[in-house]
């Protein structure tokens, strides 16, 4: 019986290894470049475990002698399509009563529905094949550990993060993005560089061969997993034909992370985060229960509650790409801006006179009015920002604000940027 069980475990390990291998191949998205390396590491670990299992098989005759030894074998289970935490526990041969006990313990601090396909559950067994511990990630920062002693104990622990700053410099031969990848810069950082300069540069036309990109950025390493999380850019410079554009990170007196040149100027204006006056946010970007259908759905924009007829401004300079009824969006406008950005405005009561497809609009110009057309529970503007055909959270958009630093704030900035720049140079050349 135990032997059959072991074979089943062995087969499931091989299958999960195979699954990781296959999924890695279909997972060629450039944005997951680094995660792929981690997956690779996991595959290697899986193989190691299979070998361990085999050794364990051979050594099973000696098991009785080793009972006192507290040695656990780790087995990784990849959550596949259709798996639930309950079905996984059932596969691990837990009794129904125990499953109920485990689930109710976990659900006090974690919603098990949040576990996603592809995530990994680690199961630790002792020499007798008894499960002593189950672990999985609550999120990128926390691990949940269920320990089986006489009782079931739940233990939530934070992963340890170490902070780093790194500087890189490279010359563009092909494109900012692909050459950045070749220089081992994370896609997360490259996307941030592009969005930082997207209102100064047209990346299709302005970038020439021999353009120099220089960047300094912050990242964290999670000690337990080796996973890297990329944070803010501290400094970025692009030199085209000897002309330099550069930005330094600075936290303004009102608490925003923003980027300025050496004069404390943030010349170009970005896309407005709030394209109307006197509105309050009534629904944020992210997963939510839809107010009409009741289903959990991704809310791809931000809702601003405002009275019907409140004027809506163009979020940035651009060309009207769509005006008209658009399904559940009701009366809808979409504007195409520079460098891959678009903004969309839904549930309008009406369009401004003269707004039609192909018309050029300037930032701040009235394009339409708040309403409640389409699937809407009351007058509000549903506002979306789309970057390279993907929705992004308008409130988290980190782009130049158009602000010019003055007085004490400028003095403070000047002190800080010099430190950032000196650190950047010393990291590059020492
Ligand atoms: Zn909405």
Listed residue (364, 25, 420, 365) closest to 237, CA to CA: 420
3-state secondary structure the chain: CHHHHHHHHHHHHHHHHHHHHHHHHCCCCHHHHHHHHHHHHHHHHHHHHHHHHHHHHHHHHHHHHHCCCCCCEEEEEECCCCCCHHHHHHHCCCCHHHHHHHHHHHHCCCCHHHCCCCCEEEEEECCCCCEEEEEEECCCCEEEEEEECCCEEEEEEECCEEEEEEEEEEECCCCHHHHHHHCCCCHHHHHHHHHHHCCCCCCCCCCCCCCEEEEEEEEEEECCCCCEEEEEEEEEEEEECCEEEEEEEEECCCCCEEEECCCCECCCCCCCCCCCCCCEEEECCEEEECCCCCCEEEECCEEEECCCCCEEECCCCEEEEEEEECHHHCEEEEEECCCCEEEEEEEECEECCCCCCCCEECCCCEEEECECCCCCCCCEEEEEEEECCEEECHHHCCCCCCCECCHHHHHHHHHHHHHHHHHHHHHHHC
Q: How far is the CA of 325 from the centre of ligand 1 (A)?
A: 16
* Domain residue extents for the chain: 2-158, 161-260, 280-396
Architecture of domain 280-396: Distorted Sandwich (2.70)
What is the C-alpha separation between 224 and 237, in angstroms, rounded? 34
- The per-residue pLDDT for range 387-400, each reduced to its tens digit, is 888 998 887 776 65
pLDDT value of position 210: 85
Cα(231) to centroid of ligand 1, in Å?
A: 28
* CA-wise closest residue to 126 among 60, 70, 52: 70
| CA–centroid distance, residue 345 to ligand 1 (Å) | 9
For the chain, give the mean pLDDT: 80
339 CA from centroid of ligand 1 (Å): 25
Q: How far apart are CA 140 and CA 201, in angstroms?
A: 34
283 pLDDT tier (thresholds 50, 70, 90): confident
pTM of structure: 0.49
Question: Around ion ligand 1, which residues have CB less than 5 A away?
Answer: 301, 303, 382
382 alpha carbon – ligand 1 mean position (Å): 4
pLDDT of 27 strictly over 50: no
Tokens read off for 313: 């401004």
pLDDT digits (tens, 9 = 90+) for 182-241: 999 999 999 888 878 876 776 666 778 889 999 999 999 988 778 899 999 999 999 988
Alpha carbon of 288 to ligand 1 centroid (Å): 10
Which of the listed CATH numbers 3.30.70.2740, 3.30.420.40, 3.10.450.350, 3.40.50.1580 matches domain 2-158?
A: 3.10.450.350
Q: Ligand 1 mean position to 343 CA, how many Å?
A: 13
Distance in Å, CA 11 to ligand 1 centroid: 47
**Ligand 1: centre distance to CA 285 (Å):** 8
Ligand 1 centroid–CA 297 distance in Å is 11
Residues 262, 177, 402, CA angle at the centre, nearest 5°? 35
Characterize the bridge pairing of strands 341-348 and 286-289: unpaired
Question: How many Å lie between the centroid of ligand 1 and the Cα of residue 32?
Answer: 29
pLDDT digits (tens, 9 = 90+) for 32-90: 333 333 333 333 344 334 334 433 333 333 333 333 345 788 889 999 988 888 999 99
pLDDT for residue 3 is more than 70: no
| 299 alpha carbon – ligand 1 mean position (Å) | 6
Average the pLDDT over each of 68-82, 364-378, 406-420 and give the range with the smallest value.
68-82
Tell me how far the alpha carbon of residue 277 lies from the centroid of ligand 1, in angstroms: 17
The alpha carbon of 313 and the centre of ligand 1 are apart by a number of angstroms equal to: 17
Instruction: Say what the pLDDT of residue 168 is.
Output: 97
Give percent of the chain with pLDDT exceeding 90. 40
Residue 202 pLDDT:
65
How many CB atoms sit inside 10 A of residue 416's CB?
16
Rounded distance from Cα 302 to ligand 1 centre (Å): 6
Tell me the pLDDT tens digit for each residue of 151-189.
Answer: 889 988 888 889 999 999 999 998 888 999 999 999 999
Rounded to 10 degrees, the C-alpha dihedral 126/128/131/133 comes to -10
Question: Cα of 283 to ligand 1 centre, how many Å?
Answer: 7
The residues pairing with 74 across neighbouring beta strands, listed in sequence order, are 124
CATH class given for the domain over 161-260: alpha beta
- Determine the distance separating the centroid of ligand 1 and the alpha carbon of 303, expressed in angstroms: 5
Cα of 318 vs centre of ligand 1, distance in Å, is 22
What separation in Å is there between the alpha carbon of 346 and the centre of ligand 1? 8
In this prediction, residues 11-40 reach a mean pLDDT of 40
Q: What is the mean pLDDT of residues 266-292?
A: 76
Same fold across 2-158 and 280-396: no
């Amino acid at each position: 019986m135990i032997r059959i069980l072991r074979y089943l475990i062995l087969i499931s390990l091989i299958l999960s290894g195979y699954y990781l291998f296959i999924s890695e191949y279909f997972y060629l998205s450039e944005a997951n470049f680094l995660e792929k390396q981690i997956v690779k590491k996991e595959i290697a670990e899986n193989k190691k475990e299979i070998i361990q299992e085999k050794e364990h098989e051979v050594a099973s005759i000696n098991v009785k002698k080793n009972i006192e030894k507290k040695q656990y074998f780790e087995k990784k289970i990849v959550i596949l399509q259709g798996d639930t935490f309950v079905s996984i526990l059932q596969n691990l041969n837990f009794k129904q009563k125990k499953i109920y006990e485990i689930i109710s313990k976990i659900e006090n601090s974690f919603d098990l529905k949040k576990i996603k396909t592809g995530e990994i559950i680690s199961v630790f067994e002792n020499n007798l094949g008894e499960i002593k511990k189950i672990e999985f990630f609550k999120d990128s920062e926390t691990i949940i550990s269920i320990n089986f002693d006489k009782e079931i104990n739940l233990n939530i622990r934070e992963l340890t993060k170490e902070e780093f700053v790194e500087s890189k410099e490279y010359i563009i031969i092909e494109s900012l993005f692909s050459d950045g990848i070749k220089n081992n810069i994370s896609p997360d950082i490259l996307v941030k560089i592009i969005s930082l300069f997207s209102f100064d540069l047209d990346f299709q036309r302005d970038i020439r061969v021999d353009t120099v990109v220089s960047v300094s950025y912050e990242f964290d390493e999670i000690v337990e997993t080796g996973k890297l999380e990329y944070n803010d850019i501290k400094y970025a410079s692009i030199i085209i034909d000897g002309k330099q554009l550069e930005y330094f990170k600075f936290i303004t007196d009102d608490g925003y992370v923003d980027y300025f040149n050496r004069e404390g100027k943030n010349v170009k204006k970005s896309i407005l985060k709030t394209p109307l006056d006197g509105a309050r946010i009534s629904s944020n970007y992210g997963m939510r229960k839809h107010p009409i259908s009741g289903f959990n759905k991704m809310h791809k924009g931000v809702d601003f509650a405002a009275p019907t007829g409140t004027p809506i401004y163009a979020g940035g300079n651009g060309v009207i790409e769509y005006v008209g009824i658009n399904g559940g969006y009701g009366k809808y406008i979409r504007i195409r801006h520079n460098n891959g950005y678009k903004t969309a405005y839904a549930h309008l009561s009406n369009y401004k006179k003269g707004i039609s497809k192909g018309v050029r609009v300037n930032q701040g110009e009235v394009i339409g009015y708040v309403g409640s057309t389409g699937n809407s529970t009351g007058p509000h503007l549903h506002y979306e920002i789309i970057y390279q055909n993907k929705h992004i959270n308008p409130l988290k958009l980190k782009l130049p604000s158009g602000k010019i630093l003055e007085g004490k704030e400028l003095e403070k900035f000047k002190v800080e940027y010099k430190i950032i720049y000196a650190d950047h140079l010393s990291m590059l050349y020492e």
